[in-house]
């Protein structure tokens, strides 16, 4: 089966999974997930499964990525912060949806690989940083949208503080080994509105940078 055929099948599966946002589906269709998985696991690239990418990290299921981005409601002129670059796959999809992506990864080898992939795809609206995702990116705040690709017990105050009024944060809430849920947080003039979405399973959000990598 060709890559094009597998991509079409993947988009159909996402629609069947409840994804209706046309911009999100089009962005996913334009980004070849197979470019972001380890070569030994390339046969799983178009399956709705999480894929290990090293350093204890995973590439999330396509349906989960789509659910997060649909909940994020990204507009074409927005500035987006991504905490947890990982393989760079979600970064590449975000780059199709917004004006600029600022993405942070604590594992330097993963970031180097992600940067190479983004460069090969000629995505020039992405700014990268190896650092502590829990700190966010204060120099570039406020952000219109923030997506966190690791689970925290509660939305980090440092990241909430970097949201503009009206901005949306999507992240998994919970601890490793226990039930986790996607949460959508929107900043209002008088505080934050929170909504729980689907059940998920993510690696934990860890502070600091992996200096051993």
pLDDT tens per residue, range 51-95: 999 988 999 999 999 999 999 999 999 999 999 999 999 999 999
- For the cut 60, the answer to whether the pLDDT of residue 205 exceeds it is yes
Of 2, 26, 60, 87, the catalytic one is 60
161 part of a folded domain: yes
206 part of a folded domain: no
pTM of the model: 0.93
32 part of a folded domain: yes
Residue 213 annotated as catalytic? no
CATH of the domain at 95: 3.40.50.150
146 part of a folded domain: yes
- State the pLDDT at residue 211: 53
213 part of a folded domain: no
How many independent structural domains does the chain possess? 1
E strand residue ranges, 69-156: 79-83, 100-105, 126-130, 143-148
E strand residue ranges, 112-190: 126-130, 143-148, 163-173, 180-188
210 part of a folded domain: no
Q: Which domain holds residue 12?
A: 3-200
- Look at residues 199, 193, 165, 170 and name the one whose alpha carbon lies nearest to residue 183: 170
pLDDT tens per residue, range 15-63: 999 999 999 999 999 999 999 999 999 989 989 999 999 988 999 999 9
169 part of a folded domain: yes
């Amino acid at each position: 089966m060709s890559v094009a055929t597998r991509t079409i099948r993947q988009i159909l599966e996402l629609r069947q999974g409840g994804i209706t946002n046309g911009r999100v589906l089009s962005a996913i269709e334009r980004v070849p997930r197979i470019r972001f998985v380890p070569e030994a696991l390339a046969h799983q690239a178009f399956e709705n499964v999480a894929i290990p990418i090293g350093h204890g990290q995973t590439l999330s299921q396509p349906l989960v990525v789509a659910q997060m981005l649909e909940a994020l409601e990204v507009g074409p002129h927005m500035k987006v912060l991504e905490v947890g670059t990982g393989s760079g796959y979600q970064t590449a999809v975000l780059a199709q949806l917004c004006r600029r992506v600022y993405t942070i990864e604590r594992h330097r080898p993963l970031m180097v690989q992600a940067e190479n992939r983004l460069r090969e795809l000629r995505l020039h609206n992405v700014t990268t940083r190896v650092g502590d995702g829990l700190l966010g990116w204060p120099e570039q705040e406020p952000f219109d949208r923030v997506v966190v690709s690791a689970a925290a017990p509660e939305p980090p105050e440092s990241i909430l503080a970097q949201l503009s009024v009206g901005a949306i944060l999507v992240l998994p809430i919970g601890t490793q080994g226990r039930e986790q849920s996607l949460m959508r947080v929107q900043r209002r003039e008088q505080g934050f509105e929170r909504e729980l979405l689907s059940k998920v399973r993510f690696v934990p959000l860890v502070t600091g940078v992996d200096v051993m990598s």
